[in-house]
Amino acid sequence: MPEAETEKPICPFLLVSQTQDWIGVADGKLAIALGDFNNDNHLDIIVTERDNNKMNIFLGNGDGSFPKNPTTSITCSSLPYSIAVGDFNNDSWLDIAVANHNHNNIGFFFGYDNGTFTIEKIYSTGASRPLALSVHDFNDDEQLDIAVANDGTNNIGVLLGYGNGTFANQLTFSTGFDSRPHAIVVADFNSDNRLDIAVANAGTNNIGVFLGNGNGTFSNQTTYSAGSYPVSLAVGDFNKDGRMDIVVSNSNGHNVRILLGNDNGVFTSQAIYATGFGSYPSSVAVRDFNKDDRLDIIVAHSGNNKLSFFVGHGDGTFEKQRLYSIAIGVSQMIVADDLNNDTWTDIVIAVDNAFNIAVFLGGPDKNFTNLTTYSTGGHAYTMSVAVGDFNNDARLDIVEANYRRDDIGVFLGDGDGNFAMKIEYSTGSGSQPCFVTAGDFNNDTRLDIVVANYGTNNIGIFFGKGDGNFFNQTVYSTGSGSKPYSVAIDDFNNDTRQDIVVANYGTNSVGIFLGKGNGTFSNQTTYTIDGYPIFVTVGDLNKDDRLDIVIVNDYDDNVRIWFGNDDGTFSMKITCRAGLGSRPYSVAVGDFNGDTQLDIVVANYGTNNLGVFLGNDDGTFLNQTTYPTDRGPWSVVVGDLNNDTYLDLIVANNGDNNIGVLVGYGDGSFLIQTTYSTGWDSQPHCVAIGDFNNDNRLDVIVALYYYFSIGIFLGYYKSPFTVPVVYSSGLIPTPLALAVADFDNDNQSDIIAANNDGNVAIYLNTANGSFPSSTLYSTGYFTALSSVAVGDFNNDSQFDVVVANHDSDNIVFFLGLGNGSFGSAMSYTTGFKSGPCSVAVGDFNSDNRLDFVNVNNRDSTIALFLHYGFGAFMNKEIYSTASDKPSRSVGFGDFNRDTIVDIVVPNPSNSTITVLLGNGKGAFLNPTIYSTGFGSVPIAVAVGDFNNDTRLDIVAATKNGFNIGIFLGNIDGTFQKPIPYTDKDVFDVTGLDVGDFNNDARLDIVITSFSGYCIWVYFGNGDGIFLTSIKHSTGYYSWPWGVVVSDFNNDARLDIAVANKWNYSVGIFLGSGDGSFSNQSTYSTGENSLPIGLTFGDFNNDNRMDIVVANYNSENIGVFLNNGDGTFMEQATYMTGNQSGPYWVAVGDFNKDAQLDIAVVLSLSDNLAIYFGDGNGTFNHRTIFGTGPTTYPWYT
């Protein structure tokens, strides 16, 4: 048996514009088809010119290219709306059928083997106004027939072929009054081996399905709602169930709709995917574009110059659209096939109002890991980055310039893509370093650093020691008021010594420092530049073996080139114009078209594009070709990111907080950019590239100006994951509380949801972990249920349910019958306007019967109900919490060591906690109140032995007072005054967890400070005292929310993970075991995602803790698989549905297959979703459980 192969990564789809010179036709109303018309095994294109009554044929070259002008033109009858191809006369040569709209006929052109055709042969369709054609064998006689959508007569017609190029008269089948059929597709929809027809009825906004009888006739139409003005159809098996499904584009609805097919030819509407307001989708095509064995959808927009690409998950669902731009015009029709025989699907589009067709070649894309950031220091305003091996360990390191901190920072790399903490070197007070690069200036084989000090009018040299350390700066003046902005290095006078060129922004000059090889330089020689030089680079642009200089000027809209002489001087300059208002900020050079001549690319900040100037041998350049970027392109670099030997472009888009990658095609042209977020308001200023993890793939480093950090994108090929199958509950419910138990004694965990409509919903688990439906039990009140608990209250070995009914001021019981059903509701009042908000179960009087206690947040009391047998309860005992409004947090423990359960509750409104000691008789002693400090607002409590005296203590987290307060327990159940731990920089504590971070067998505490943008770690002394606290930044404006503790790199030391809500990331702090942590490494959860809740588990059974996060705003959960060294793969996302609001996540094995699953509460769509794990880190389907209308769940 052969060895099993490791699963290969699936490459994302990328479209390459093949038509630099657009293929031209004279008319803007186009229809397209593909076929091999000259029998050379290369696909050709045929396109109609509707208003000119003709068709044009472009014979393909086999490599995806086509002649600019048509090879053959054919005259048609009148207004050819649609074309189809097939061998209608069985001569092995393709023929053409065309729908002539105005002359009410179908015209046939029979082909020869050289790509030419006979004159048109006409078949009348009556007064039908034919719009669309499809070619198939409808009567199983092995001869091609034709189906036509007749707009004028509201029917479809079938012309049965005889195999000799002739056809029977049209048979018609009604599509309904005023239906106006616009598109037609053919497939076997009911699995009877007979072809059926589906038609888009634009006039009646539906899809009509005609099931075939196998003899060329069809059943009457069955209609399905489509949306607003359906105009195009395509078919495919979207959920891999062996049944054909349909996608329809709704022009006026600006969307596409998916209909999933059943075996009997019936369809169910699955989902609608928006294409954007004003898009007017006109044509849709289906193929597996990204080679993941799942069908995808591509849609042409007639309302703008975009294409929508929807990546399929293989379960009938699709990702949100990715948009591709068309250079000019709007697309009217799209077809897809492999035009260049590279096994990737390509597309051809008709660009209506530009009188062109365009070819886009499909292929794999290069992707990156999530951004990992390294702090450069508070208010650093990092401007520039560069790379080099500064400690001679054959691993790339990083140097960066910090404008506001007046220093440079060196980060030493470990060869795995990770970097040590910053080593700082001062550039002098007020120096404001703007740019940095590296070279060996003293010929000692150790890299040195040069920096442009804008504020002190000099350049600084830091000579390397070869071990990653540097000597103090040596400065060279660039002149009074020069304000040097950038530098570049090379050997300008051919003496094998490194020289320096500097752009002097303040004096409108370029300065040259010739190196002497010993670390010293000549005095600066300056060359006057018109404008404000902002960036400089070098290269031999005229192939005379002498280095030249390229400068871009702010506010000048030009690129200046100075040609070098042998002696380090420069003469003769030329100017390349970047366009009015372009404001070029950066420039780079490289051979983009393989002609061995250097070309130029500039980042045009003012016009939001990259300008490419292709070079000639004499140092002159062609006019600029521009490629759109996002807002504010600030920096551009050149490198081969996808290892295809062609140079690509990487740009820092300062205004839209991302980097853009434009993949090169090797002929001087580039793809539309793909963007990678650098985080909200990060303002990337500079990019550089290098292989930081020695995987032979280029990585990208970016200076994040407003994040005071640098960011690393490691290059790799991304593997997307499926999104689970959705099972609808048929309702729009919203749970407020959840619990899990086996209600029907089948050894499967079932789910109960308490809803705010007064119902509880029971979801019984099947053996495969699915929950097909819910059963509702009314409490008799149409009010919000705020809490639910489960227990056996009548000792019949069956689970019963108790729920808190907040607005009706009562507790309701349902006794379980053991088969998944429940008896009638029994109600117990909690008092007038009491507001029960939380309920818990326990044996409070040691009689082996379960009792329950609830917290009332309206009258600030705790109510205890004692069980006296048979599922009945005594009247409540009421205990005041001495608070206007207690929180929903409750802690339990035996505080006085009498083996009886006691209770602690935080009271936010009066800044206290309340302790209730049990008396062993099902009652509690009078409450004892402990202050947490005036105005402190305690939000949560937890119980543990913090001073190792075997007595339980209490920790309280407060919003406004001390960050945490430790109440040490006495032996009698009383507590000492709180030991407060406060830092003036901590505000709005939102998360808390505990662990032993320094391996001293003493518990420590970590909290998140929401508005402080940090976490704080408090180290326990083992006696209830926390001597030290250490702050760790989570990033400016990060707003950390949830926090969890685990060992993420398997070093037996606890680490910390935090959800950074407004930085759209998960942050990882790796513990050293001594209480210190690495700088935060962040993993993007997606732009505008708003991650809130997170937890961890081993999802792929590799004994490494993985992370799952609820991304509230992007409506998905993100799974980060652990690499085992504390780093994580890029987030794999699983959609939770439109307007779902995922808020909190939990993990468990819900279907007893020994694999971890994920549960997420959907706070906006009133649902609970379960994602079932495959054990390899993927989740193969999702089940949705309704929780009742407007229940708004938050936690699970």
Reduced to 3 states, what is the DSSP secondary structure of residue 783?
Answer: coil
CA torsion through residues 531, 533, 534, 536, sign: positive
Between the two ends of the chain, the Cα-to-Cα distance in Å is: 46
- Report how far residue 624's alpha carbon sits from residue 641's, in angstroms, rounded to the nearest whole number: 23
Task: Give the rounded distance of the alpha carbon of 1002 from its chain centre.
Answer: 40
Please provide the DSSP assignment of 531-564 as one string.
SEEEEEEEE-SSSSSS-EEEEEEETT-EEEEEEE
Report the amino acid identity of residue 701: I
E strands within 161-280?
171-174, 181-187, 196-201, 206-210, 222-225, 230-236, 245-250, 255-261, 267-274
Task: Give the rounded distance of the alpha carbon of 1021 from its chain centre.
Answer: 43
The token pair at 222 is 């069955």
The H-or-E segment that residue 829 falls in is strand 826-829
Domain of residue 355 covers: 23-364
Widest Cα–Cα separation across the chain: 106
pLDDT per position as a tens digit, 728-779: 222 333 444 555 567 677 766 566 665 556 566 666 666 544 455 556 666 5
- Report how far residue 958's alpha carbon sits from residue 966's, in angstroms, rounded to the nearest whole number: 11
- Report how far residue 143's alpha carbon sits from residue 140's, in angstroms, rounded to the nearest whole number: 8
- The conformation of residue 406, written as its DSSP 8-state character, comes to T
- Report how far residue 561's alpha carbon sits from residue 583's, in angstroms, rounded to the nearest whole number: 16
The token pair at 659 is 């980097």
The β-bridge partners of 1133 are: 1118
| CB 771 within 8 Å of CB 727 | yes
E strands within 1040-1100?
1040-1046, 1055-1060, 1065-1069, 1081-1084, 1091-1097
In a domain, 903, yes or no: no
1192 Cβ contact list (under 8 Å, min separation 6): 734, 736, 756, 1163, 1164, 1166
Q: What is the 3-state secondary structure of 854-921?
A: EEECCCCEEEEECEEECCEECCCEEEECCCCCCCCCCEEECCCCCCCCEEEEEECCCCEEEEECECCC
- Report how far residue 378's alpha carbon sits from residue 1060's, in angstroms, rounded to the nearest whole number: 18
How long is the chain?
1196
User: CA 825, 801, 740, 1118: dihedral to nearest 10 degrees?
Assistant: 60
Reduced to 3 states, what is the DSSP secondary structure of residue 522?
Answer: coil
- The conformation of residue 218, written as its DSSP 8-state character, comes to B
478 Cβ contact list (under 8 Å, min separation 6): 457, 458, 459, 484, 502, 504, 511, 524
pLDDT at res. 1180: 64
In a domain, 884, yes or no: no
Q: What CATH number did the domain enclosing 132 receive?
A: 2.120.10.30
E strands within 933-1013?
938-944, 953-958, 964-967, 979-981, 989-995, 1004-1009
- The conformation of residue 645, written as its DSSP 8-state character, comes to S
In a domain, 350, yes or no: yes
Report the amino acid identity of residue 908: P
Residue 368 CB burial class (10 angstroms; 0-12, 13-18, ≥19):
buried
In a domain, 1016, yes or no: no
- Report how far residue 959's alpha carbon sits from residue 702's, in angstroms, rounded to the nearest whole number: 36
| CB 916 within 8 Å of CB 927 | yes
- Report how far residue 804's alpha carbon sits from residue 795's, in angstroms, rounded to the nearest whole number: 21
The token pair at 567 is 């002696």
Reduced to 3 states, what is the DSSP secondary structure of residue 353?
Answer: helix
In a domain, 508, yes or no: no
Reduced to 3 states, what is the DSSP secondary structure of residue 291?
Answer: coil
Distances (CA, A) of 310 to 306, 455, 938: 13, 50, 47
pLDDT at res. 373: 76
The token pair at 123 is 């078949």
| CB 510 within 8 Å of CB 526 | yes
- Name the one residue in this structure whose structure tokens are 């490289």: 590
| CB 556 within 8 Å of CB 531 | yes
Q: Count structural domains, the chain.
A: 1
- Report how far residue 900's alpha carbon sits from residue 630's, in angstroms, rounded to the nearest whole number: 65
Strands 474-477 and 458-462 come out as antiparallel
858 Cβ contact list (under 8 Å, min separation 6): 833, 834, 835, 885
Which pairs with CB-CB distance under 8 Å and at least 24 residues apart come from 862-869?
Answer: 862/903, 862/905, 862/914, 862/916, 862/924, 862/927, 863/811, 863/830, 863/831, 863/834, 863/836, 864/922, 864/923, 864/924, 865/811, 865/828, 866/922, 866/923, 867/793, 869/794
- Report how far residue 388's alpha carbon sits from residue 398's, in angstroms, rounded to the nearest whole number: 6
In a domain, 147, yes or no: yes
Rg (CA), the chain: 35
- Report how far residue 835's alpha carbon sits from residue 785's, in angstroms, rounded to the nearest whole number: 10
Reduced to 3 states, what is the DSSP secondary structure of residue 354?
Answer: helix
In a domain, 11, yes or no: no
Reduced to 3 states, what is the DSSP secondary structure of residue 748?
Answer: coil
- Name the one residue in this structure whose structure tokens are 């993949």: 663
In a domain, 769, yes or no: no
- Report how far residue 733's alpha carbon sits from residue 728's, in angstroms, rounded to the nearest whole number: 11
- The conformation of residue 178, written as its DSSP 8-state character, comes to T
Q: Single out the residue of 593, 548, 552 nearest to residue 576, CA to CA.
A: 552
> Which stretches of the chain drop beneath a pLDDT of 50?
1-29, 353-355, 366-367, 717-736, 768-770, 870-871, 874-888, 1186-1196
Report the amino acid identity of residue 1018: Y
| CB 907 within 8 Å of CB 917 | no
| CB 240 within 8 Å of CB 231 | no
pLDDT at res. 505: 94
The H-or-E segment that residue 361 falls in is strand 356-364
- The conformation of residue 1022, written as its DSSP 8-state character, comes to S
